[in-house]
Each structure stands twice: as structure tokens, then as C-alpha cells.
């Protein structure tokens, strides 16, 4: 089969038309990972195992985000489900809670 000058083999184009997006097959281990997702980023940063559901991490971030003052944000992180798990894990809790706080957007008024 010979290559045609308009980048086709038979009736099939080799590249999508200009401006078209090419759908890539999803890899199961990559499909759930989003580099812009704070839950994924926090999970990676604090090495949170998959046994802690994303919804638990998201709820904890939401609780922290609802507070405006730094002390209130720290207390919200401490009393959140994720904060309780971090306390049970036995690592540097203050540092871990400050990481959680850094991933939670500040409340806007």
C-alpha cells in the first residue's frame, strides 16, 4: 500500500482534521488521576491510602474551606474525618494539618 500525499492510507486519515481533538483510550490507572484535582494532589502529598475514600478527603477540604480565620481552619482540619485519620496515623500532625489547609481554598465573603 502506498502513502498518498494527503496523509491517507486507503480511506483512513493518519491524523485528525485541523482543530479536531483525538480521543485517547483510557488507562484505568490514569483515568482517575487528575493533576489539577486537590483531592488527588493531597492524597499523593500526604501518602493517603486508597482505603480513605475521595469523598472523605473532599469533605474535609470543604470543612476547612468554610472557615475564614487561620485558627478556625486549623481546628476544622483537626476535627475533620481526614484530620482524625492523620492523628491516628501517628506522623507529624501539625505539619500534615497545615498541608491540608494549604490545599483548601480560603472562604470568600
Instruction: Find residue 9's DSSP bridge partners.
Output: 12
CB atoms inside a 10 Å sphere around CB 53? 11
Asked whether the predicted pLDDT for residue 2 surpasses 60, the reply is: no
User: For residue 9, what is its C-alpha cell?
Assistant: 492510507
Tell me the Cα Rg of the chain. 22
Per residue in 3-39, pLDDT (tens digit) is 444 444 345 444 334 444 333 334 344 445 556 899 9
pLDDT at 79: 97
Q: Could you give phi then psi for residue 7, rounded to 5 degrees?
A: 55, 50
Asked whether the predicted pLDDT for residue 71 surpasses 50, the reply is: yes
What does the mean pLDDT of the chain come to?
78
% residues pLDDT > 90 (the chain): 61
pTM for the model stands at 0.67
> Which sequence spans correspond to the domains of the chain?
34-109
Amino acid at each position: 500500500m502506498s502513502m498518498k500525499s494527503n496523509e491517507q492510507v486507503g480511506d483512513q486519515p493518519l491524523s485528525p482534521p485541523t482543530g479536531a481533538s483525538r480521543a485517547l483510550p483510557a488507562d484505568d490507572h490514569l483515568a482517575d488521576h487528575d493533576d489539577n484535582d486537590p483531592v488527588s494532589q493531597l492524597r499523593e502529598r500526604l501518602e493517603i491510602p486508597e482505603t480513605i475514600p475521595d469523598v472523605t478527603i473532599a469533605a474535609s477540604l470543604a470543612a476547612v474551606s468554610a472557615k475564614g480565620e487561620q485558627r478556625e481552619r486549623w481546628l476544622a482540619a483537626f476535627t475533620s474525618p481526614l484530620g482524625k485519620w492523620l492523628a491516628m496515623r501517628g506522623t507529624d500532625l501539625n505539619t500534615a494539618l497545615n498541608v491540608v489547609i494549604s490545599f483548601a481554598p480560603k472562604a470568600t465573603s
